[in-house]
C-alpha cells in the first residue's frame, strides 16, 4: 500500500520529568516523576496517524542506539518504515521538564535528522508515492532540497515547529514557503514567521492552507480565501501537553484520508489532541478513529 502521507521529523528518545516548580539556577529541583518514551515529531505524528487508520510512512534517520522496543512500537502501529534509516550517529534525544502548572522546558540533541545533509542519503521514495508530505523538525536545508525534488507531486506541508526560532531563518522560510501547499504553526511560531516575512498575521503567508493553533482558544485556519475558527475540543483532564500539536496533525491527515473537508478535519485534529493531553507522553493516549470522531462530532457546528 502506498502511504497517504509521508512524515519527516526527528525520531527521539524522550525523557520526561515532572517537578513542582522551577528553581533559581544552581538549586536542584527534585523530580517527582520520570518517564522515558519514544518521541520526536516524526513518530509522534506518524505513529498517531497510522493508529488512526491513515496509511503513513515515516522518513527519518536513527542511530544504532535506538531501542528495539521503540522500533517494534512503530512497526506495530502499522507505520510504513521503509525509509527509517540507521546511520552512525546517536539517535536524537530530548529532556522535557514539566512543572505543576504544565510550564515546559526542553533540552534537545539534534542527532542525525538535524545533520541530514552530511549523510548523503535522499529519502524521497515514500514521499513521491504519497498524496501528502509533512516536513516537520530536522535540517531545513535538507528539507528544502527535498521539496525541490517533490514539487509538482504530493501536497507539501511546512511545519518547522519550535525549530523555526533557532534552526530555520528568514532566508530558509522564504525559500520553503513558495514550494508549500500548507503551513502549520502555533502562536509563538507564528510570531517568528511573521517577523521573517514582514507581515502582521501569519494567515497572510503564501500557502493555500495556513493553520495556527491558539492553545486554549482552539485554532484558526485560512482555507483558500476563507478564514475559519476551529473550536477547542475539551479534554477530560490535562496532565501533559507534550505532543498535543503532533497528535493534532495526525488527526488532520487521518480525517483527510477519510474524505472530510478541511474545517471538519481540523475539528477532528483538535479532538485527537484532546486525548493526548490526558496522559503523560505523546503516544500514550492515541484514540481510535471511532473515539476521535465521537468526541469531535458535537463541535462540527461550532466552526465559523
Q: Report the pLDDT value the prediction gives residue 134, as an integer from 0 to 100.
A: 98
DSSP letters spanning 219-267: EEEEETTEEEEEPPPPPS--S--TTHHHHHHHHHHHHHHTT--HHHHHH
Q: Report the pLDDT value the prediction gives residue 281, as an integer from 0 to 100.
A: 76
Task: Please name which of 133, 132, 139 lies closest in space to residue 160, comparing C-alpha atoms.
Answer: 139
DSSP state of 102: -
DSSP state of 288: P
Q: Is 161 left (phi over 0), alpha (psi -120 to 50) or beta?
A: left
- Domains of the chain, earliest start first: 5-9+39-89+120-302 (3.40.1190.20)
- Dist CA 58 CA 123 (whole Å): 10
Judge whether 253 and 134 are in contact, CB under 8 Å: yes
Q: Report the pLDDT value the prediction gives residue 36, as an integer from 0 to 100.
A: 87
Q: Report the pLDDT value the prediction gives residue 137, as an integer from 0 to 100.
A: 97
**What are the strands, taking DSSP E only, across the chain?**
5-8, 12-18, 33-39, 56-62, 80-86, 92-98, 104-109, 132-135, 155-158, 182-186, 209-213, 219-223, 226-230
Give, for all 304 residues of the chain, the pLDDT tens digit.
Answer: 899 999 999 999 988 899 999 999 999 989 999 988 898 999 999 999 999 999 999 999 999 999 999 999 999 999 999 999 999 999 999 898 989 887 889 899 999 999 999 999 999 999 999 999 999 999 999 999 999 999 999 999 999 999 999 999 999 999 999 999 999 999 999 999 999 999 999 999 999 999 999 988 999 999 999 999 999 999 999 887 878 999 999 999 999 999 999 999 999 999 999 999 988 777 889 999 999 999 999 999 999 8
Task: Please name which of 121, 109, 162 lies closest in space to residue 145, comparing C-alpha atoms.
Answer: 121
What is the model's pTM? 0.92
Amino acid at each position: 500500500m502506498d502511504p497517504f502521507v509521508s512524515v519527516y521529523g526527528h525520531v527521539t528518545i524522550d525523557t520526561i520529568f515532572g517537578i513542582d516548580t522551577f528553581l533559581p539556577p544552581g538549586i536542584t529541583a527534585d523530580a517527582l516523576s520520570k518517564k522515558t518514551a519514544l518521541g520526536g515529531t516524526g513518530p509522534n505524528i506518524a505513529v498517531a496517524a497510522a493508529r488512526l487508520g491513515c496509511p503513513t510512512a515515516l522518513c527519518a534517520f536513527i542511530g544504532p542506539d535506538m531501542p528495539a522496543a521503540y522500533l517494534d512500537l512503530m512497526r506495530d502501529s502499522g507505520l510504513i518504515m521503509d525509509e527509517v534509516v540507521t546511520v552512525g550517529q546517536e539517535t536524537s534525544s530530548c529532556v522535557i521538564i514539566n512543572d505543576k502548572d504544565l510550564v515546559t522546558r526542553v533540552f534537545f540533541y539534534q542527532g542525525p535528522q538535524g545533520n541530514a545533509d552530511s549523510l548523503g542519503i535522499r529519502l524521497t521514495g515514500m514521499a513521491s508515492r504519497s498524496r501528502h508530505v509533512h516536513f516537520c523538525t530536522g535540517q531545513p536545508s535538507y528539507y528544502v532540497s527535498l521539496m525541490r525534488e517533490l514539487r509538482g507531486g504530493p501536497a507539501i506541508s511546512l511545519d518547522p515547529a519550535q525549530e523555526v526560532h533557532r534552526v530555520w531563518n528568514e532566508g530558509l522560510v522564504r525559500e520553503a514557503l513558495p514550494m508549500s501547499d500548507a503551513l502549520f504553526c502555533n502562536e509563538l511560531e507564528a510570531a517568528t514567521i511573521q517577523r521573517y516575512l514582514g507581515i502582521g498575521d501569519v494567515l497572510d503567508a503564501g500557502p493555500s492552507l495556513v493553520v495556527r493553533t491558539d492553545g486554549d482558544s482552539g485554532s484558526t485556519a485560512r482555507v483558500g480565501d476563507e478564514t475559519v475558527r476551529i473550536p477547542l475540543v475539551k479534554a477530560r483532564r490535562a496532565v501533559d501537553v507534550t505532543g498535543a500539536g503532533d497528535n493534532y496533525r495526525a488527526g488532520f491527515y487521518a480525517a483527510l484520508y477519510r474524505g472530510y473537508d478541511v474545517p471538519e478535519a481540523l475539528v477532528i485534529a483538535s479532538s485527537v489532541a484532546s486525548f493526548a493531553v490526558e496522559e503523560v507522553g505523546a503516544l500514550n493516549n492515541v484514540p481510535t478513529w471511532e473515539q476521535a470522531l465521537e468526541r469531535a462530532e458535537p463541535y462540527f457546528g461550532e466552526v465559523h
